[in-house]
Amino acid sequence: MNMKYYISTFVLLAFAFIGCGDKLDLDDFISSGGTTNITGDTIYVQISPVWGGFNNPQDIIVGKEPFIYVADTDNNRIVMMNLNGQVLSTKSVPKPVALAQDYQFNLIVCGTFDTTLSTGETRTYSAVYKIDMAGALHDLSAAQMNRILPRYNVSSDYQFPDRVYTSVCTFYDNSFYIGRKGPNNTSIIDPDNSILIFQKKNLPGGAKADTLIGRLPLLNPIGTGLLSVNNLSALASFNRRSVDFIMGMTGENSFRAQWMTFVVTSEFAGYQNRLDPGSGGAEMMKVNKFISPEGITIDNANNIYIADTGKDSIYKFNSFGDEKESFGGPGIFNNPSGVAHFDRTLYVADAGNNRILRFVLSTDMR
């Protein structure tokens, strides 16, 4: 089927007089009221039509099938679409804000749930759900949904109502991480700002269950530099046999997007920063590069895409942290909160405009 492409009403600025060795600074365009930045001659072109019918969509992923899943936050649902944007199914989930899918096709969703206390008061907690897509033959509306956080019959999970589960990423072995934030971070053992580890554990009888192992160590819950999880906002894993991940945060931090790589030596095993923030280091690690990185995705070439709601922009970096075709501004986006990539198409959950936008590079137009 032929796809109609058009450049949207915004102007994609490409400056012929900028030398190949020069770069345009997206920050300059945003601060001066401009609408876009292209770090080179290649530009992103919007695909028609815009996908509407959403209400503050906070996240979007392309699943392993592949189907597209949208966290339609203020409509309290997950929307499942095919690659042409046709809605195939929906499922009610209260206030979904983050999505991931494992290699068994289970969806992991961060949302909320309400419970009635013994006093009769209704209290809302942040929650994490798992949706069994394979068991329902990929019919989202019929898929079984189980809550995995807060855990049933674990009273300590209900003692911190201000904790919020903000993000999730899955790995090749179907383990997954959950990003959590909150105001109480004095505890050495269990601060609100943490990354929680879930792994498959064997149960009596041979069944396996997702089990909370603990939290990632050596990450400062209120740090302002490297190895920090100061108000986590996004997690993204790589499409390979690796436990590396990219994380975003909105707390006070000079490096609000960091690539965590797992290192094993004779003296140490754990996560370290992969990209160098020093002089002449990776552009992704430039001090105060981001304001509010709410969405992150990684394509099969290990390019990293970061949706920054604070700058209404999408940033793209290669696997060395070099900035590529970044673009955006308030003339294009309004709080872009989620980003996904599949088959040369970039999908953006433009939350403030209640829509999904799609883009391709000008060199990939067919």
CATH of the domain at 268: 2.120.10.30
Q: What are phi and psi of 142, to 5 degrees?
A: -95, -5
Residue at 29 is within a domain: no
Sorting pLDDT into bands at 50, 70 and 90, what band is 280?
Answer: confident
Domain carrying residue 101? 51-364
Residue at 4 is within a domain: no
pLDDT score of 337 more than 50: yes
Q: How many whole angstroms separate alpha carbon 59 and alpha carbon 96?
A: 8
Residue at 120 is within a domain: yes
Q: How many whole angstroms separate alpha carbon 78 and alpha carbon 60?
A: 10
Sorting pLDDT into bands at 50, 70 and 90, what band is 202?
Answer: confident
Q: How many whole angstroms separate alpha carbon 123 and alpha carbon 73?
A: 19
Least confident of 20-34, 40-54, 309-323, 332-346: 20-34
Residue at 304 is within a domain: yes
Q: What is the pLDDT of residues 237-246, one digit of tens each?
A: 999 999 999 9
pLDDT score of 37 more than 60: no
Q: Strand 269-273: give its sheet, edge to edge.
A: 232-237, 245-249, 257-264, 269-273
Tokens 């000079």 found at: 254
Least confident of 1-10, 77-86, 287-296: 1-10
**Torsion angle of the four alpha carbons 110, 114, 115, 119, in this order, in degrees rounded to the nearest 10:** 130
pLDDT score of 14 more than 70: no
- Quick one: pLDDT at residue 259? 98
Sorting pLDDT into bands at 50, 70 and 90, what band is 279?
Answer: low
pLDDT score of 26 more than 50: no
Q: How many domains does the chain have?
A: 1
Contact 275, 321 (CB under 8 A): yes
Burial zone of 159 (CB within 10 Å; 0-12 exposed, 13-18 middle, 19+ buried): exposed
Residue at 81 is within a domain: yes
- Quick one: pLDDT at residue 205? 81
Q: Strand 77-81: give its sheet, edge to edge.
A: 57-62, 68-72, 77-81, 87-92
Q: What is the pLDDT of residues 86-110, one digit of tens each?
A: 999 999 999 999 999 999 999 999 9
Residue at 70 is within a domain: yes
Give the residue with greater pLDDT, 276 vs 41.
Answer: 276
Rounded to an integer, the average pLDDT of 38-47 is: 78
Task: Provide the percentage of residues in the chain whose pLDDT is more than 90.
Answer: 81
pLDDT score of 34 more than 80: no
Instruction: Give, in order, the Cα–Cα distances in Å from 341 to each of 27, 182, 256, 289, 302.
Output: 24, 30, 21, 22, 11
Residue at 7 is within a domain: no
- Quick one: pLDDT at residue 207? 83
Residue at 288 is within a domain: yes
If one counts every other C-beta atom within 10 angstroms of the C-beta of residue 25, the result is: 13
What pTM was estimated for this model as a whole?
0.89
